Structure 1
């Protein structure tokens, strides 16, 4: 798991197994980008 924060921009980008989360605290927004949809070993949210 890796987290990066860009200086000067309120964006948190967190890469997890099976996807990438991007947090926009200024807008109160959360974006999830799945990277491995057909991966049978990827964790599932039920």
Structure 2
């Protein structure tokens, strides 16, 4: 959603941040999220 579209999530790529589950389509999504989770959440 942070890239202005929804995509199917990969159940192997996820993060928990502040008690919430975030899932990603590809490993790069998790890596980008790790760099700046608050910015990505705001963007989504």
> Which structure has the bigger radius of gyration?
1
**Is the helix fraction higher in 1 or 2?**
2
Q: Which has the higher contact order (CA 8 A, sep 6+)?
A: 2
Task: Identify the TM-score tier after normalising by the shorter chain.
Answer: under 0.3
TM (normalized to structure 2)? 0.27
**Is the strand fraction higher in 1 or 2?**
1
TM (normalized to structure 1)? 0.26
